[in-house]
Amino acid sequence: MVKILKKLNILLDGKQKRFMIVLLLMMLFGALLETASVTIIIPVITLLMDANAVENNEIVSTLYRVLGMHSRETFTMLIMSSLIVVFIFKNLYLFLQQKVLYRFVYTNQFRTSERMMKNYMRRGYEYFLNADTAVIQRSITSDVNNMYALILSLL
């Protein structure tokens, strides 16, 4: 793993590394949203299953008092609505996160292939007399694709 990170450190420029840090922070926030959305389900199920949950469950009763509710039905509708809103927000955020992630990977994959191609095109004629064109083609296409597939799996 350390060997892979050292190679990535060489291959990626500073802007790409900073953006990867932003991506990691976005993923951390996404994980927190996932946890929160799963955690909120327990009080909702408790409220739906137990008619006396407002009095018996400490979390539900505290929430009932803080919101200043007077009707159990209104409270249940508010909690269900908030659950739906939380899941919609979470899924929209995760969609945005995946879109940014794939845009980063595929844009940089193209740029890296382009840089390698330009590097090969700048070389002199003598280089290509002894060069294996299959190796050159593989390094421009397959190796770059594999490197970014590795980056995608690390993220």
Task: State the chain's mean pLDDT as an integer.
Answer: 83
Greater confidence (49 vs 128) lies with: 49
Is the pLDDT at 1 greater than 70? The verdict is no
From residue 3, how far is each of 126, 138, 143 by CA, in Å? 33, 22, 17
Rounded to the nearest 10 degrees, how much is the dihedral formed by the CA atoms of 100, 102, 103, 104?
80
28-59 confidence digits (pLDDT tens)? 999 999 998 888 888 788 788 877 877 777 87
Which pLDDT does position 9 carry in this prediction? 74
